[in-house]
Structure 1
Amino acid sequence: MTTTLMPKAAQIGGTVQTFQWQWQNQTFAIAYETRGSGTPVLLLPAFSTVSTRGEMQGIAEQLAPHFQVVAMDWLGFGQSVPRSVAQAIRPSLDYRPALYRQLLQDFVRVHFQQPIAVVAAGHAAGYAMQAAQQPNLVSKLVLVAPTWKGPLCAMGAPTPVRDGVRELVRSPGLGQFLYGLNTTPGFLKFMYRRHVFVNEARLTPDFIEAKHQITQQPGARFAPAAFVTGTLDPMANRDEFLTVGRSLTMPTLVVIGEQSPPQSKAEMAALAALPNIQSVRLSGTLGMHEEEASEVAAIVLPFLQT
C-alpha cells in the first residue's frame, strides 16, 4: 500500500494524493487530501448520492490552522476509482459494510503512527464508531448528525423491496435511466430542501449544478444505490448502534441537528443520552457538517484541543 500524488483538483484547499488499497484482489486509488500541519485529524464525509470530501471543506478551513487535516473520498464516491482506470470511472462492486470497515481501518493504520482524532458525518459516523472499537486506531470521535439507517430503511421499506430497488438500479440501461431521474437538478434540490439543508437560499443554481456534476461520473450509480437501499447501513438496528456507542472508551462528542428528520433525530438523541457520550445541539439537519460548518467547527475545535 503506497501513496502517490494525484493530478486532481483540491476540494478542501490542500494537497491531493491517493492511497493504493487492495480489496478482493483488486487495487483501488483512494483519493484523499491533506491541509495544514500538526496533530492529524481525519474528516469523513457522509454517504450520499453526492458524497465527496469537498463537503468537509468548511470544517477543514477552520481546523487547518491548528491541525493537519486529512479528508478522504469513500470508494465508489468522489474521486476514488480503480487504480488501472485512467478515467474517473467508479467501480461496479457489490458494495457492503465490510468493504468500508476494512478501508477505514487500513487507511488509518497506514497513514497515522498514533491513534487519530476522527470527525465523521452521517453514516460515516457509524463506521468511525466501529473503527474506534479496534485497538490503537482512534483517540477522539466527533459524530456530526450520526445516522445508521439508509433512506429506504428509514422509510420502512421491507428488505425484499430494498434489495429489488438496488438490483434494478444496478442493472444496465434501465438502472442508469432510473438513477438519472433521481439525480436531476430539480430532484437534488428537492432532497436538499427536504432534509439536508435548512436554509433554502443556500441552494443556488451553481450549488445544485456542482452537486449534479458529482452524480454524472461513469459508474456513479452503484455505491449510492447501496446506500439509499440500506445495504451500507453500518449497524443492523438501534440496539447494535447503542451497543457500539456504549463500548467507546475515548472522548466522544455527538453533534445533533435540531431540524433533523424526527426519526434520525431520535437516533442521535439516543446515542447522545449514553453516559460516556458528550453532546451538543445546533441548528441544522443531516447536511449540517457542510451547511453549518463554522458553527460545527467552533464546537469541534476546543473538543479536539482539550
Structure 2
Amino acid sequence: MALSAIFYTSSSPSLTLPSKNHRPIFSHTSCFSKSLIVKASTTLGNSKLSVDDKSLGPAKTSSWQWKFKDYLINIYYEEHEKSNSDSSKNILMVPTISDVSTVEEWRSVARDIVQRVGKVNWRAIIVDWPGLGYSDRPKLDYNADVMEKFLVDFIIAPDSPISSSANDLVVFGGGHAATITLRAAKQGLLKAKAIAAVAPTWAGPLPIVFGRESSMETRYGLLRGTLRAPAVGWMMYNMLVSNEKAIESQYKSHVYANPENVTPGIVESRYALTKRKGARYAPAAFLTGLLDPVQSREEFLALFADMEGKIPVMVLSTEGSPKRSKAEMEALKGAKGVSKFVEVPGALLPQEEYPITIAEELYWFLQENIEIKA
C-alpha cells in the first residue's frame, strides 16, 4: 500500500502532493533438479475455501515480547492446527509488508493447509511485523536490518513460540517478507527446510518507480520526515492513506487483480489498521525504500542463487502484478536457486484474493519437498 505522491526534481528539494489521488504506486545439503516452471489457473474466482471446520480448532492468538534495544515490543501471532493433532511440523507465514500488512492475508491459506490429510500434520504460525498489523508500533527507525533481526529473533530466540523447530521450519513469505527471509538465510542467520516466495518484491513503492538517485533519496527523506512528524505527519497520513476511499482505490488498482473481489469488509478491516497508535512509522520507511532488503535486481537474483542445492525455493509469480513488480518476478523464471516457478492469478496479494489456488500450490510444494521425505 503506498501514498499517492509526485516528486519533482529541481535544484532544491521540493515535494508536491496532489489534491486528487493518482494511480497508487505500491510495489509492492540436498541437490535439487532443474527448475520446474508451471502455470496455474483457476475458475474459482473469489470462492470461499472448503474447509472441514470440525477438524480444526479455533485459531490460537497470542503475543510474544520482542526485546529490541531499549524497547519491549508486543508481537501479535496466530497458530492454526487441527484439533487434538499429534506431533506436527511448523510453517511460518509472514505477511507482505505494506501500510495495511496483516496476518489476515494468510488465514484462509493456513486453515486450508492444516486441515489436509497427509504424511505430515502441519501447524501454521502467522506473525505480524513490528510496526504493522496488530503488533505494537513504536517510533523506531525502521529499516530492512531491523525487520530481518526481528524475523530471525522470532524464529531462534529461546523464548520464541517456534524456537524448538527453528531448524525444521518451512517459511512462506509475501512481497518483501520473502526477500528478507532469503537474505537472512543467505547470511546463515536462519535455517529453513523450504521457502516459498509469493509475489516476491524488493523495491519500495517510490524507489521502484523513481529510482535511487541522490536527488530522489533527498526527497524520500523529506517525505519520510514529514510523515513521522507529530502533527503534520498524521494529517498527511490521514489525507493520503488512512481513509476508506484511498484504501479501496489502491486495492482495486494493484493489490487485487479483480476489483470485484475488493469487499467493504476488507476495506473496513484495513482502514481500522491505519488508525492504530503509531500506524504511520513503519509504512513511511517502506514507502521510501528503507525496508528494501536489496538495492538491485542483481542482488535480488543473488539471494535465490545462493539457495541452490541448499534449500528448495518456490516462486509464485502473479499474472496481474503491476508492470515493474511483475518484471522482477519474471526475472526469477529459470533463475538459479529457484527450484519451482509457478504463475498464479492475482496481483500483489494473491494469498488473500485467491487462497484456494495458493494453498493448493503451496501444499504440492510441501508434498514434493517435505512429505515425500517424511
Per the normalisation by structure 1, the TM-score is 0.90
Where 1:77 maps in the other structure, the secondary structure is coil
1:131, distance to aligned residue in structure 2 (A): 2.3
- The residue identity in structure 2 corresponding to 1:150 is G
Give the equivalent residue in structure 2 for 1:148. Answer: 202
1:30 matches 2:75: yes
- The residue identity in structure 1 corresponding to 2:227 is V
Q: How far apart are the structure 2 equivalents of 1:13 and 1:291?
A: 22
Q: How far apart are the structure 2 equivalents of 1:159 and 1:259?
A: 29
Which structure 1 residue ranges, 5 or more long, are not aligned?
1-11, 82-89
The aligned runs of 1:40-51 (5 Å cut-off) are 40-51=90-101
Give the equivalent residue in structure 1 for 2:12. Answer: none
Q: How far apart are the structure 2 equivalents of 1:275 and 1:231?
A: 27
Pick closer, same or farther for the CA change 1:148–1:199 going to 2, 3 Å.
same
1:254 matches 2:315: yes
Q: How far apart are the structure 1 equivalents of 2:248 and 2:169?
A: 35
Q: How far apart are the structure 2 equivalents of 1:116 and 1:150?
A: 28
1:200 matches 2:251: no
Where 2:76 maps in the other structure, the secondary structure is strand
1:20 matches 2:65: yes
Give the equivalent residue in structure 1 for 2:342. Answer: 280
Query: How many residues are paired up?
Result: 287
Q: How far apart are the structure 1 equivalents of 2:217 and 2:264?
A: 36
Match of 2:128 among 64, 73, 92: 73
Pick closer, same or farther for the CA change 1:297–1:39 going to 2, 3 Å.
same
Give the equivalent residue in structure 2 for 1:84. Answer: none
Where 1:179 maps in the other structure, the secondary structure is helix
1:173, distance to aligned residue in structure 2 (A): 0.9
Q: How far apart are the structure 2 equivalents of 1:140 and 1:287?
A: 21
Q: Deviations over 1:154-200 (max 9, x none)?
A: 11152111111111100111110110012211111111111100121
1:136, distance to aligned residue in structure 2 (A): 5.7
Which deviates the most, 272-281 or 107-116? 107-116
- The residue identity in structure 2 corresponding to 1:193 is K
1:135, distance to aligned residue in structure 2 (A): 6.0
Give the equivalent residue in structure 2 for 1:266. Answer: 327
Which structure 2 residue ranges, 5 or more long, are not aligned?
1-56, 116-120, 369-374
Higher relative contact order (CA 8 A, sep 6+): 2
Where 2:210 maps in the other structure, the secondary structure is coil
1:119, distance to aligned residue in structure 2 (A): 0.5
Report if the CA contact (8 A) 2:304-2:336 is conserved: no
Q: CA RMSD in A?
A: 1.5
Match of 1:235 among 287, 294, 302: 294
Q: How far apart are the structure 2 equivalents of 1:44 and 1:26?
A: 22
Pick closer, same or farther for the CA change 1:243–1:152 going to 2, 3 Å.
same
Runs of 4+ displaced beyond 4 Å: none
Pick closer, same or farther for the CA change 1:280–1:178 going to 2, 3 Å.
same
1:273, distance to aligned residue in structure 2 (A): 2.6
The aligned runs of 1:1-306 (5 Å cut-off) are 13-36=58-81, 37=85, 38-65=88-115, 66-81=121-136, 90-110=137-157, 111-112=162-163, 113=165, 114-133=167-186, 134=188, 137-156=191-210, 158-183=216-241, 184-248=243-307, 249-277=310-338, 278-306=340-368
Q: How far apart are the structure 1 equivalents of 2:102 and 2:361?
A: 23
Pick closer, same or farther for the CA change 1:52–1:13 going to 2, 3 Å.
farther
Report if the CA contact (8 A) 1:131-1:138 is conserved: no
- The residue identity in structure 1 corresponding to 2:124 is V
Q: Deviations over 1:140-161 (max 9, x none)?
A: 0100000001111111152111
Where 1:295 maps in the other structure, the secondary structure is helix
Q: Deviations over 1:94-132 (max 9, x none)?
A: 101111111111111132333310010011011111122
- Percent identity over the alignment is 32
1:92, distance to aligned residue in structure 2 (A): 0.9
Q: Deviations over 1:14-34 (max 9, x none)?
A: 111222211112211111111
Where 2:342 maps in the other structure, the secondary structure is strand
| Structure with bigger gyration radius | 2
Q: Deviations over 1:249-273 (max 9, x none)?
A: 2000000001111111111111233
